[in-house]
Amino acid sequence: MTHRPTARPPAARTGPTRRGLLGWFAGVAGVGVAGSALAGCSSGPAARGDATTAVSATSSKVDFHGAHQAGIATPAQDRLHFAAFDLLTTDKAAVVAMLRAWSDAAARMSDGRPVDASYDAPVLDPAAAPGDTGEADGLNAARLTITIGFGRSMFTKLGLTDRLPPGLVELPAFPGERLDARRSDGDIAIQACADDPQVAVHAIRNLVRLSRGTASLRWSQLGFGRTSSNSSSQATPRNLFGFKDGTANLRAEDPAAFDRSVWVAPDEAGSPAWMAGGSYLVARRIRMLLEVWDRTSLGEQEQVIGRHRLSGAPLGAAAENDPIRLAALPADSHVRLAHPDTNGGAAMVRRGYSFVDENDSLGRLDAGLFFLAYVRDPRTQFVPIMQKLAQNDAMNEYLSHVGSGLWAVPPGVQPGGYWGSGLFA
Amino acid sequence: MTHRPTARPPAARTGPTRRGLLGWFAGVAGVGVAGSALAGCSSGPAARGDATTAVSATSSKVDFHGAHQAGIATPAQDRLHFAAFDLLTTDKAAVVAMLRAWSDAAARMSDGRPVDASYDAPVLDPAAAPGDTGEADGLNAARLTITIGFGRSMFTKLGLTDRLPPGLVELPAFPGERLDARRSDGDIAIQACADDPQVAVHAIRNLVRLSRGTASLRWSQLGFGRTSSNSSSQATPRNLFGFKDGTANLRAEDPAAFDRSVWVAPDEAGSPAWMAGGSYLVARRIRMLLEVWDRTSLGEQEQVIGRHRLSGAPLGAAAENDPIRLAALPADSHVRLAHPDTNGGAAMVRRGYSFVDENDSLGRLDAGLFFLAYVRDPRTQFVPIMQKLAQNDAMNEYLSHVGSGLWAVPPGVQPGGYWGSGLFA
C-alpha cells in the first residue's frame, strides 16, 4: 500500500483553532459543504490556509483556567461523558506527567482546539498517528468543561495519605444500595460536559489516550439529558420520572451560596492548603425502576416527590418557584427530606444527567439518573442527607443505587499549571 | 399518605399539544421559568388553561403519515434510540391491537403531543397512572420520526410465511463477524430519531409501555452522533475514526434515487402487494477498535478509508464533493469497495449513529458505529456489498461486527390506519 503524504502549504503558525479548521474546510456547521469553501484553494486537500479567517465563536467556550475548576458553577451543559480511572503505577512523577499532559489537553479542547499542538502544524505528518482523534474537527467547543477529582485510593497508592483532605472519607454503606464495583470508585474521576455529545466523548477519549501506560479506564458513563438547572436562565428539565428536577438547585448567579456550600475555604478547618478553592464530587448511578413508576398513579407520584408533576409547583403552592411550605409535603416525600431547611441548611450543587444504557433479559431498560453533586464537605452535606433519604425517602421503592464514588476536587488551574499541582508540589 | 387531587379547571378540550403545555407552564424552552408564566393563573398548579395559546413550532415536526414511513428519506436527526422487540404471543389480533396503539401513539408523539389522549384531558385523574410518562413535556417534537420493521421471525411466529417478502432473507454469515444474539435480530424493530435524545428515549419508552403483555424489549441501542448526511443542507459529520462519513450518501433531494434504491415498487417482482412503498432495514452494530486506529499513521488511515481525513476529499481529489476517481484509491480501501460504481450501481441510504456504551475490563471503550441502512432489496444491495467488504476491506482490521438485523419495512401509514395494515388485512 502506497502512502501519499498529506501535504499542506507552509502557512504561518498562527495557531488555528478547531473552529479555524471549520471555517476553512467544512463551512460553518449546518451551512456549508467543505468542497465549496475549499474551491479556491489549489494546494491540496489538507491545506489549512490562513488561520486568521477563523470563525469567532467565543460564546461556545468556557475558560478552563481560574480559581475554581470549570464544570462546577458553570451552567449545566446538555451532555455528559464521565470516566473513572485507575492508576497503573505508584510513580508520582509519572502521574504528574500525565496530569500535566491532561491539563494542557483540557485547556486546548475547552478552547475548541485539537488536543495536541502537533495537530496545529501546517503540514500533518502522514507517517505519524494524528495528535488528535479528529471526530470533533469542525465542531465548536460546545461549552466543554473538563473537571477532575482524586479518590482516596489514589492517595494510598501514591503514598500521599498525609495530604488526604478530611472530607475524602470512605462513604458508609447506605441502606438499600446495591453497588457494583465495576460502576464505583476509581483513583481519578473526570467529568466532561458539553452541549454536543461528540465533543464530550472526544474529550474523554483523548484523555484516555494520553493516559496510556499510566492509568486505565475503570468505568464510564454517558448522560444525555441534564436533570438539574443551576442557572436562572435555564428552564428546569424533567427527569425520567417525568418531574422537573433541579428547581431548588444552587444558582450560578449566587456566588455566596457556592462559597457557603461548594468551595473549600482557604482557612477550612483541618483541610490541607492545596484543597483551598477545591470541592468534593459525589457520583451515584441511580437506576430508576421505570416500569414500576409508570404503573403508579399521578397522585401517588406527586406525594412521593412532593411536587406537582405538570407545573413543578411544590404541593400546596401554585408555581414551580413558589416557596416550599414543608408542612404541606408528606413527611416521607423526596423534596421535603432533601430540603436544606430539614438538613441544617446543607445544600449542594447538583449536575445530574439521565442515562439509558441497555436493557436486562426481562426487557427492562437500564435507565435512571447519574447523580453528580459538588459539596464543600461530604461529612456534613452529602452523607447525612443520603443517610436520611436511604432510610425514609418514599422514592426508594422506585430506585436502586448501583454505582457510587467520592473524589476530592482540586482548585482551578492557572495558565501553565496543572491539575493537582498544589497536592504534588 | 393522603392523596391530594391534581385538579384542573374544566377547560375546552381543544387538544392542547405538548408545546401547548410548554407555552403555558414552562415558558419557551431556555427562555422562561414556569412560575412567571403561571403567575396570572389562580386555578391551581395543574391548570392547563387555554390551549389556543400553544406556541407554533411546525418546523420541529415531521409528518408521521404518508406513502412511505418517515425516518428513511427524512434528513437525519441528531440522536437515535433503536429498539428490537420479541412477540410474547402468536395471536395476530393481539399484535394488530398493539400495532394500532403504537401507530396512534407514534402519530401523536411525532406531532409533539403526549402519547395518550387521556393526557390531554383538562383534569388529569390523580388516581390513575398518567397516560404519558412525562419526560418530554415542555420539549418540542424535535423532528421525531418513528419507523417500524418486521423480522422474519415474526412471520414464522404469526403463521404469515405465505406473505414473507422475498428480500427478507436470512442474512448469510459474513467472514469475521462476531455476532452477539443479545444485540441481534428481533421480531419487530423500531427506529426513533430526534434532534433531542430525551424525545427519542421518551418515544421508545412509551412504545415499550404500550407493548406490555404482547411484546418485550429484546435489545436497544442509543446513538448520539449521526455519521451520515442525507440532505445537501447538512454538513457531513465525522465518525469516531475522525473521518467524514456519508458524503456520497443518497440525498433526500433526489427522490428518483430513492425510487431506484430504497422503495419497493408497486410491481416489484415476486413481492407481495403489502410491501409496495416499503423498504428493508439493515442494522449492524459495528464496534470500532479505537485504540488500534488511534495508533495508526495518518497516511495509513487515509489509505484504509480512501479519503483525506481533514478535508474529506477522495484521495487524488481536492474537495469533499469532488468526483471520486476510483483508480486513485487503493483497491482495498473502504470507499472504493463500497462505491456504487464497483457494485453494479447498488446504493443504499445510510442513517448511522455513533455509540459509546461502556468499557471492557481492559479499559477499552465499547464504541463504534450503529450502522442503519434502507434498501429496496437486500439480496442485490446489502448482501453482496457486505460480502465483498467482509472479505477485502482494509478497515476490517479496525472493526468488529457484533450485532445484526434485517427487517421488512412496511409502507407509510394513512391517517386512521396502522403500521402493517396491508400485511394483516
pLDDT digit string (tens) for A173-213?
999 999 999 999 999 999 999 999 999 999 999 999 999 99
What does the pLDDT read at residue B374? 98
Reported confidence tier of residue A124, pLDDT bands at 50, 70, 90 = confident
Amino acid occupying residue B123: V
A4 to chain B: closest CA residue: B299
Residue B34 has pLDDT above 80, yes or no: no
Which sequence spans correspond to the domains of chain B? 64-107+127-424
Res. A54: pLDDT tops 70: no
Q: Please answer yes or no on whether B30 and A364 come within 8 Å at the CB atom.
A: no
pLDDT of amino acid B19: 33
Rounded mean pLDDT of A67-91?
Answer: 97
Phi, psi of B259 (to 5 degrees): -60, -40
Q: Identify the pLDDT of residue B123.
A: 77
A29 pLDDT more than 50: no
A228 versus A54: the higher-pLDDT residue is A228
Q: What is the pLDDT of residue B120?
A: 82
This model of the complex carries an ipTM of 0.87
**CB B309 within 8 Å of CB B301:** yes
How close B226 comes to chain A (CA, Å)?
Answer: 10
Would the CB atoms of B225 and A198 count as touching at under 8 Å? Answer: yes
What per-residue confidence (pLDDT) applies to A38? 27
Closest-approach residue (CA) in chain B for A204: B365
Mean pLDDT over the full length of chain A: 87
Q: What is the mean pLDDT of residues A342-352?
A: 93
- Asked if the model's pLDDT at residue B372 lies above 70, the reply is yes
Chain center to CA of A62 = 13
Q: What is the pLDDT of residues B173-192, one digit of tens each?
A: 999 999 999 999 999 999 99
- Judged by DSSP in three states, A8 sits in coil
Residues of A in contact with B235 (CB under 8 A): 26-27, 29-34, 138
Say if CB A168 and CB A161 are below 8 A apart.
no
Residues of A in contact with B29 (CB under 8 A): 235
Judged by CB atoms closer than 8 Å, whether chains meet at B46 and A297 is answered as no
The average pLDDT across B345-362 equals: 92
Mean pLDDT of A300-325: 95
How does the average pLDDT of chain B come out, rounded?
87
| Closest Cβ–Cβ partner in A35, A225, A311 for B198 | A225
Give how far B17 is from chain A: nearest CA, Å: 13
pTM across the whole model: 0.88
Report the pLDDT value the prediction gives residue A312, as an integer from 0 to 100: 95
Band the pLDDT of B307: cuts 50, 70, 90: very high
Confidence band for A234, pLDDT divided at 50, 70 and 90: confident
Cell of B280: 428493508
| pLDDT band per the 50, 70, 90 thresholds, residue B22 | very low
Report the pLDDT value the prediction gives residue B118, as an integer from 0 to 100.
85
Is the pLDDT at B2 greater than 70? The verdict is no
Residues of chain A positioned with their CB less than 8 A from the CB of B115: none
Chain-chain contact of B364 with A217 (C-beta, under 8 angstroms): yes
Q: Rounded to an integer, what distance in angstroms lies between the CA atom of residue A242 and that of residue B140? A: 15
Closest Cα of chain B to A136: distance in Å?
Answer: 7
CB distance B130–A298 less than 8 Å?
Answer: yes
Check pLDDT > 60 for residue B7: no
Band the pLDDT of B248: cuts 50, 70, 90: confident
Residues of chain A in contact with residue B243, where contact means CB-CB under 8 angstroms, are: 134
Q: Which of B34, B46, B319 sits opposite A45 (nearest CB)?
A: B319
> Is A35 a residue whose pLDDT tops 80?
no
Q: What is the DSSP string of A329-369?
A: S-TT-HHHHHSGGGTTT---EE--EEEEEEE-TTS-EEEEE
Q: Is the pLDDT of residue B285 over 80?
A: yes
Task: Decide: B251 and B232 in contact? Cβ < 8 Å.
Answer: yes
Residue B31 has a pLDDT of: 26
Kindly list the residues from chain A whose CB atom is less than 8 angstroms away from the CB atom of residue B364.
217
3-class secondary structure for chain B?
A: CCCCCCCCCCCCCCCCCHHHHHHHHHCCCCCCCHHHHHCCCCCCCCCCCCHHHCCCCHHHCCCCECCCCCCCCCCCCCEEEEEEEEECCCCHHHHHHHHHHHHHHHHHHHCCCCCCHHHHCCCCCCCCCCCCCCCCCCCCCCCCEEEEEECHHHHHHCCCHHHCCCCCCCCCCCCCCCCCHHHCCCCEEEEEEECCHHHHHHHHHHHHHHCCCCEEEEEEEEECEECCCCCCCCCCCECCCCCECCCCCCCCCCHHHHHHHCCCCCCCCCCCHHHCCCEEEEEEEEEECHHHHHCCCHHHHHHHHCECCCCCCECCCCCCCCCCCHHHCCCCCHHHHHCHHHCCCCCCEECCEEEEEEECCCCCEEEEEEEEEEECCCCCCHHHHHHHHHHHCHHHHHEEEEEEEEEEECCCECCCCCCCHHHHC
pLDDT for the residue A409: 98
Got the DSSP string for A60-112?
A: G---SBSSS-TTSSSPPPSEEEEEEEEES---HHHHHHHHHHHHHHHHHHHTT
**How confident is the model at residue A89, as a pLDDT?**
98
Residue of B174, B220, B248 whose CA lies nearest to B401: B174
- Binned at pLDDT 50, 70 and 90, residue A123 comes out as confident
Interface test with A, best of B3, B33, B354 (most A CBs within 10 A): B33
Contacting residues for A373 by C-beta, under 8 A, at least 6 apart: A281, A282, A348, A349, A350, A351, A352, A382
pLDDT at B414: 97
Higher pLDDT, B45 or B57: B57
Asked if the Cβ–Cβ distance from B208 to A363 is below 8 Å, we say yes
pLDDT number for residue A31: 26
Task: Give the closest-approach CA distance of A179 to chain B in angstroms.
Answer: 17
Contact B349, B371 (CB under 8 A): no
Confidence of residue A360 (pLDDT cuts 50, 70, 90): confident
The reported pLDDT for the residue numbered B9 is 33
Local confidence band at A226 (pLDDT 50, 70, 90 cut-offs): confident
Confidence of residue B85 (pLDDT cuts 50, 70, 90): very high
- Residue range A153-168: mean pLDDT, rounded: 98
Predicted confidence at residue B14, as pLDDT, reads 35
Q: Residue A4 pLDDT more than 50?
A: no
Report pLDDT digits (tens) over A261-290: 999 999 999 999 999 999 999 999 999 999
Distance (Å, rounded) from C-alpha B125 to C-alpha B136? 19
**pLDDT digit string, tens, across residues A286-305:** 999 999 999 999 999 999 99
pLDDT at B71: 98
Size of interface A-B (CB pairs under 8 A): 328
Check pLDDT > 50 for residue A378.
yes
In the predicted structure, residue A237 carries a pLDDT above the cut 70: yes
Predicted confidence band at B121 (pLDDT cuts at 50, 70, 90)? confident
How many residues make up chain A in this entry? 425
Locate the chain A residue with the closest alpha carbon to B119.
A310
Q: How far does the CA of residue A308 sit from the closest CA of chain B (Å)? A: 7
* Inter-chain touch A356–B201, beta carbons under 8 Å: yes
Is the pLDDT at B43 greater than 50? The verdict is no
A330·B208 Cβ contact <8 A: no
Confidence of residue B231 (pLDDT cuts 50, 70, 90): confident
pLDDT digits (tens, 9 = 90+) for B325-335: 999 999 999 99
pLDDT at A395 over 70: yes
What kind and span of H or E run contains A398?
none
For A120, nearest residue in chain B (alpha carbons) = B310
For the segment A147-172, the average pLDDT, to the nearest whole number, is 98
**Is pLDDT of B52 > 60?**
no
CB contact under 8 A, A137 and B217: no
Q: Which of A133, A137, A363 is facing B310, going by the closest CB pair?
A: A137
* Å between A271 CA and nearest CA of chain B: 33
Least CB-CB distance to A235: which of B21, B27, B130? B27
Residue B274's pLDDT is 98
